[in-house]
Structures are given as structure tokens and as C-alpha cells.
A = this chain, B = another copy of it.
Amino acid sequence: MSKLKISKATRLLTVEVDALNENGEVLATPIAGEHPLTIYVDKREIVTLMTLGQAPEALVIGYLRNQRLVRAVADIAEVQVDWETDSAAVTTHKAIKNLTQRMKKRTVTTGCGQGTVFGDLMEEIDSIKLRDDVSLSESGLYNLLDAVRRHETIYKSAGAVHGCALAQLSGDHAEILHFVEDVGRHNAVDAIAGLMWLNDIDGSDKVFYTTGRLTSEMVIKAAQMQIPFLVSRSGLTQMGYEIAQRTGITMLGRAVNKHYLLFTGRKRFIKQSSPTMLASA
């Protein structure tokens, strides 16, 4: 099988526009890019995503991965993103089976705040088994939050984007392997999923961080990538919580600076300052 051919079509991520503020001043204000990107698989139109365009090829691959339209990165021969036509042309080694049928099913299960496949994903939840022989320490968490804080460049300048990070922990040291921002939190997580395929990264000992809320789909996607640690700056929803319980994922919300709320999967979390907490968890 030949190597994947892939474009590198990152967009300019912010532009400046004039805005009038409450003091009557006209300010040059950076705003985040947002561009339609229509995905074609073997010349068949699949979907149009609105994206910042930071990692468009990874987004396309991760979208196909998370929608279960492609089963392995090795099945993809080529990904060409072309911003002249706002399109991403994906070529597979052999045509995807039952694409019409699977697209049809997708239609009726589009969910989220109107996001992505729902029914199929729920079916997979109970088959997911996350690693139990890995742990996240409180100081490792704090180091991760500090590393993330330094990375969020588009958000800091322009707002209106969500960021996702995939991190490797070695003891208490947190290293960010990938960091992607996008206008939608689902795009950001899909792009991370694409980068994991492209770089052959095993999720089973990694930490997934998102600035976005922990809704059902965010938890499902993290668990499907076999990632045992899910950390968010934001809050969570009831279904996000229920799915986290079912998968046993270690999930922390409201994680900013030295604050956090640990919701599920306490067995993998090590609170060094008071190790007796572990026994009660």
C-alpha cells in the first residue's frame, strides 16, 4: 500500500475588522476565520463543515474516523484540501462499502447541539474498555493546565474558537503532542482524532483536554479514541456524566489554574497532597 498523499492547506487563522466600542473608539479587532469545507470521498459529496482551517486535512480524516465512514487510516490514499474551491477531496484505496446506506443512517441520527452521529456511537459505548493501569496526578494535571494556558493563541487574540489538546504525561510532566483550535468544539476533537491516525498515536495512556463543555458526544469521542483521561475548562451535561460513568473514563471539569472538579473515574487520579483520598474514592 502506498504512502498517504496529503496537502498542507492551513488558512490564515485571524483577520482584523473595525469595531466601535463603548468609548466611541474604532478598534482593529482580530476575529477568527471561518470557512466552509466540503468533503468529497471518492468524488461523492459527504458534508460541509465550517472550520477555522488550522488543520484541515486532519479535520477531514478525523471526521471520517469519528463518523465511522473510514475504518483505518490505511484505507485512505489521498487527502487534498483546496481553498480555491473550499473542498477536500479524499480518495480511498477501495471504495467504502454501503456508503449510501451509511449516509442515509447518518441523516436521521444527526445530534449534539445538532452535531454528529448519535445512535451508532451509543451502541459502541458498552464495548469500550479503557486502561486501568494508568494514572493522572494532581500536579500532572496542573502542569497540563499550565501548558494549555500558554498554547491558546487564537482564542486569546480573537475568541470564538474552542481548543483541544492531546497530551502525554511522564510522571508529573505534561507534554502537549497536538493542539488544535476550531470554530466548533466537534471539529477540534475530530482534528485531534485525525492527527492521532496520521501520527499513529495510541490514546490509551494520553490525556484529552478541551476548552468546550463535556456533552455526550465529547465523552463518547474521547472514549472511542481509548483515552482514559478527559479534562475540560468548562462544565458538563447529565448525559456526558452518565456516559463517563458507563465508560469509567476519568473526567475532570472546571479545570482552570489550581481548581478542578473530578466527576468520574477517581481510581486513576492521584491527589498527592492527601493520598488518603484515594482510599475513599
- Give the B-binding residues of A (Cβ under 8 A): 15, 17, 19-22, 24, 27, 29, 31-36, 45-50, 63, 103-104, 106-116, 118-119, 138, 158-160, 162, 182-187, 213-217, 234-241, 253-254, 258-263, 266, 271, 273-274, 277, 281
List, sorted by A's number, 13 A–B pairs whose CB atoms are closer than 8 Å: A21-B262, A24-B273, A29-B261, A32-B237, A35-B238, A46-B108, A47-B111, A48-B110, A48-B111, A48-B118, A50-B115, A50-B216, A114-B187
Contacts of A183 in B (CB 8 A): 113, 213, 215, 237
Q: How far apart are the CA atoms of A116 and B46 in the complex, in Å? A: 14
Chain B residues contacting A108 (CB-CB under 8 Å) are 45-48
A146, B133: Cα distance in complex, Å: 50
A110 to B162, CA, bound (A): 19
When the two chains form their complex, are residues A24 and B158 in contact, meaning their CB atoms are under 8 A apart? no
Q: How far, in Å, is A198 (CB) from chain B's closest CB?
A: 20
Once A20-B277, A33-B237, A34-B237 are accepted as A-B contacts, the answer to whether A112 and B215 lie under 8 Å apart by CB is no
- If A107-B107, A111-B48, A184-B114 touch, whether A34 touches B158 (CB-CB below 8 Å) is no
Chain B residues near A182: list those with CB within 8 A. Answer: 113
* CB <8 Å contact, A17 and B110: no
Are B48 and A109 touching (Cβ within 8 A)? yes
Contacts of A45 in B (CB 8 A): 108
Q: Are B253's CB and A185's CB within 8 A?
A: no
With the chains together, A266 CA to B19 CA distance in Å?
A: 10
CB distance from A60 to the nearest CB of B (A): 12
